[in-house]
Amino acid sequence: MSVDLALWMFPVLLAAIFIGVPVAFALMSVALIFGVAQFGESVVIIFAHRVEEISSSHILAAVPCFIFMGAILEKSGIAEGMFEAIHLWTRRLPGGLAVGTIVICVLFAASSGVVGATETVVGMLATPVMLRYGYDKGLISGTICAGGSLGSIIPPSVLVVILATIADLGIGELFAAMLFPGLVLAGLYIAYILIYCLLKPAVAPRPAFEEDATPLLHKLWRTVLVLIPPLALIAAVLGSIIFAIAVPTEAAAVGAIGGLLLTIFYGKFSIAVVREALMTTLSITAMVLTIVVGGLMFSGVFAGTGGLTALQNLLAQANLGPWGTVSLILLITFVAGFVLDLISIMLILVPLAIPIVTGLGFDAVWFCIALLIMMQTSLLTPPLAGAIFYFRAIAPPEITLRDMYRGVMPFIALHFVVLVLIVAFPSLALWLPSVLLGFD
């Protein structure tokens, strides 16, 4: 197979996805067809090595533990208690229920690492409350979809565990690098909601004073009881990884055990809760790792047939310059989000982009954070807007697809604001790793 023919792998892959082939099997099928054409029967050996890489990866072993930590907090009702405690403090603010929803999304994203879990849980809790108080349906949709998407940029994101494996970077380094950009993005979400609701109070009616007459002592006690133990668990898991006290697998195991202990502490433990959490963990883990295997098979065949070299030559001939090349890669990532899910985008683009970007003199960690912002944006951009699909599955009939598309648009714009900030101030992503881990 010629090098030029390798570039046909992408159109064939997109065609397979458009006709309805599941992404994981589309990746595997295209890799098999083009691999056999180039390597013959020996391609089976290449694929076997790829599967062995995944099955023996100690980093990816952290994925099911992180998922279980979030699942047990969800199924036991601990996440619901966190949601109620946050709203005790935010409900009197302009758009207070929406502000509280973003805050709980940050906390739950930091305890689950999975976009779907964060959005589904918070959406089921927050949507009825905001509807009851007469919130604008577009604001409700945008808040929950955007807040749920924070699971991809707030550590310990499962996506980042996979990204670190593909890009050959330290998980602790990436977790530290993504912390400030993730919090800045969440802060911009909150600032937008506050300003929008101040300018248009009708979109988020405030509760009457007597409805919020909760004693201060009760608020404080409820906050300490409900929020401090989960926050301590999150801090222990993330801190142990960032400060290299424990490897990611060990920290994830501590998180899973800690989540289980919290269910006992709050009196929520039961065999049914554990069974539901285990089934959720099993289904999400199987889906994620199947896509990872397919993506590595695809990228392996593409690189082995000379496709990476051909792509580098095309970019060199385009004479876009370093910043033009990086901008083009980010633009391709953004457009790919219209039709591909995040893991597929990452598995296809990262192995191709990292050598090109580092060869141009850019920092690999900085680029990965910029790429994460773009990939998170794809969760909100139609037609394959994952965050909208998750919300559509749990939203009541009165919230239409049009409301959802209308609601996410301002939040998409905020993603580009953060991307510009990261480009203008690389230290936003690189300062914390350099301070905590000593990287230059």
pLDDT tens string 296-310: 787 777 767 766 666
What mean pLDDT comes out for the span 344-359?
81
3-state per-residue secondary structure call for 271-319: HHHHHHHHHHHHHHHHHHHHHHHHHHHHHHHHHHCCHHHHHHHHHHHHC
What mean pLDDT comes out for the span 282-308?
76
Neighbours of 235 (CB within 10 A): 11
Reference 412, options 337, 344, 340; nearest CA is 337
- Residue 320 tokens, joined: 């876009």
pTM of the entire structure?
0.78
Sequence-separated (6 or more) residues with CB below 8 Å from residue 134: 205
**Which of the four pLDDT bands, split at 50, 70 and 90, describes residue 191?**
very high
User: Looking at residue 341, what is its pLDDT?
Assistant: 67
Cα–Cα distance measured from residue 296 to residue 38, given in angstroms and rounded to the nearest whole number: 17
- Residue 160 tokens, joined: 């980042």
Neighbours of 259 (CB within 10 A): 27
User: Looking at residue 411, what is its pLDDT?
Assistant: 92
419 or 91: which leads in pLDDT: 419
The mean pLDDT value of the chain amounts to 81
Indicate the domain borders of the chain: 3-437
User: Looking at residue 1, what is its pLDDT?
Assistant: 46
pLDDT tens string 126-180: 888 888 888 899 999 999 888 888 878 887 777 788 888 888 888 888 888 888 9
344 or 133: which leads in pLDDT: 133
User: Looking at residue 315, what is its pLDDT?
Assistant: 67
Contact 88, 355 (CB under 8 A): no
**Which of the four pLDDT bands, split at 50, 70 and 90, describes residue 210?**
very low
User: Looking at residue 359, what is its pLDDT?
Assistant: 84
Sequence-separated (6 or more) residues with CB below 8 Å from residue 204: 94, 95, 96, 97, 98, 133, 135, 136, 139, 193, 197
Q: Torsion-angle region of residue 40: left (phi > 0), alpha (psi -120 to 50) or beta?
A: left
pLDDT tens string 30-42: 888 888 887 777 7
**Greatest CA separation found in the chain?**
75
Residue with the two structure tokens 């580092």: 358
User: Looking at residue 383, what is its pLDDT?
Assistant: 61
Contact 28, 294 (CB under 8 A): yes
Cα–Cα distance measured from residue 143 to residue 313, given in angstroms and rounded to the nearest whole number: 43
User: Looking at residue 437, what is its pLDDT?
Assistant: 63
What mean pLDDT comes out for the span 243-268?
84
Cα–Cα distance measured from residue 287 to residue 86, given in angstroms and rounded to the nearest whole number: 32
Give counts: helices (H), strands (E), the chain: 21, 0
284 or 103: which leads in pLDDT: 103
pLDDT tens string 216-238: 777 788 788 888 888 888 888 87
Asked if the model's pLDDT at residue 389 lies above 90, the reply is no
User: Looking at residue 380, what is its pLDDT?
Assistant: 83
267 or 61: which leads in pLDDT: 267
Between CA 386 and CA 396, with CA 392 as vertex, the angle to 5 degrees is 160
